[in-house]
Amino acid sequence: MTQPTKPAHRHRVVIIGSGFGGLTAAKRLRRADVDVTLISKTTSHLFQPLLYQVATGILSEGEIAPTTRLVLRKQKNVRVLLGEVENIDLTARTVTSKLMTMETVVPFDSLIVAAGSQQSYFGNDQFATFAPGMKTIDDALELRGRILGAFEAAEVTTDPAERERRLTFVVVGGGPTGVELAGQIAELATRTLAGAFRTCRPTDCRVILVEGAGALIPPMGPKLGAQAQRRLEKMGVEIRFNSLVTDVDYMGVKVKHKEGGEERIECACKVWSAGVQASPLGKMVADQSDGSEIDRAGRVVVQPDLTVKGHPNVFVIGDLMSVPGVPGMAQGALQGAKYATNLIKGELAGRDDPADRAPFKYFDKGSMATVSRFSAVAQVGKFEFGGFIAWLAWLVLHLVYLVGFKNRFTTLITWFITFISHSRGQMAITSQMIYARLAMDILSGQQNLDLARSPLAAVEAAEKFERERGAS
């Protein structure tokens, strides 16, 4: 056993990421004799499962994304830094982050990498210009602008073909996010917007869900997938199974069917929820280890104790870890954070021997997905059920995991009003929602920046542009 010794400084823990894993790890070290530095490229803790409700006007971004700094302000042993992690040096035990032109180097004794994942376009990153993903607040706000903007454009146009294109929505990917978003777009058109226009009829809109497999929500099994399918089809959603999107442009998408043939779908609003790719930080850490590898999605194949080979003080958790049987969901990140912080606390108490650590064991608490108002599907162990009871269970579970009493209370009130009426409280859109991505793409192109890999590069680009403009 490792014997406790008096160090020259308090044990330093660096956490990368403010998602479920990162925030949970920081909070679990509240009473530990450590100094924690949490580095994140966003200022908030995003409750990603409810992101689609921001995109469809039910919730505000503030209700699902409280400011990380405010969440942790009473925890005096935590320092929160905004920045893009540019380098992790496992030998020197330092993490280097950058915000605009300011660089920060933070030393660590223990490192928890919980940097999460980003949208994957399977090598076709140019699709993002026309088909935003569903991974960030920016994505959700842009989609809200695109969805509601499509109805506004349909009201103005005098061309029937263009009106039909504007009222056609394509959702790529039949996982939980795709199913939830397709259902909400259909409800938005048939309930909230019904009767609000004079030239176009929102109820005439088409919602098309494109899925590469032969069933919806494949991880939840054929029974629940079929139940979700029946509910969506009853709502008027068209489903294209065994189909892959091969091209996306301003006017629409091209779909290739596995049984043969291609289909061109003219549509104004496209949403991409077909896949995810782990943060590049996973590869950076794996390359410096003693032989740890990454899988096809860029996740680190970790040791049984969630560390990388040769570095028992470097933990990889959440969407960034590749562990058999552990899905890329919140519960995996939460359990990984608990396991890693317990080991760190054990080290401080002299109870931790890296060679004798009990392996991480994942407990599957089940999975859920909403399909529409009053309808969801759920899988808990061997039990599979759907309908109203599953929907109630979904509501309760998501309220429990929201951070902060105020957010839980306001979300509950908002849901109550939305579900018993036809109204939605977050229907305002701006031109910045829709065109900010295009503006950043142009700005980054002028300055040779890769926003897909480094979102905070947009801040640096804008800062540089303003500085040069002010000096002229």
Q: Provide the 3-class DSSP secondary structure of residue 57.
A: coil
Residue appearing with tokens 């596995």: 258
CA angle centred on 207, ends 329 and 225, rounded to 5°: 45
For residue 194, how far is the Cα from the chain centroid? 30
CA distance 118 to 84: 14
Other CB atoms within a 10 A radius of the CB of residue 417 amount to 13
CA distance 344 to 338: 10
- Read off the DSSP letter of residue 191: I
Cα–Cα distances (Å) from 361 to 115, 292, 341, 427, in that order, read 21, 20, 14, 43
Instruction: Note if 155 is an active site residue.
Output: no
Q: Which residues contact 40 (CB under 8 A, 6 or more apart)?
A: 16, 17, 18, 22, 68, 80, 81, 82, 83
CA distance 121 to 123: 6
- Read off the DSSP letter of residue 189: I
CA distance 387 to 331: 23
CA distance 44 to 54: 15
Residue ranges of alpha helices (H) inside 101-159 are: 137-156
47 φ/ψ angles, rounded to the nearest 5 degrees: -90, 85
**DSSP 3-state percent helix, strand, coil across the chain (nearest 5):** 40, 25, 35
DSSP output for 150-188: HHHHHHH---HHHHHHHTEEEEE--SHHHHHHHHHHHHI
The residues pairing with 105 across neighbouring beta strands, listed in sequence order, are: 96
Q: Single out the catalytic residue among 63, 142, 164, 180.
A: 180
Residue appearing with tokens 């450590």: 34
- Amino acid letter at 330? A
First to last CA, the chain: 65
Could you give the residue numbers annotated as active site? 180
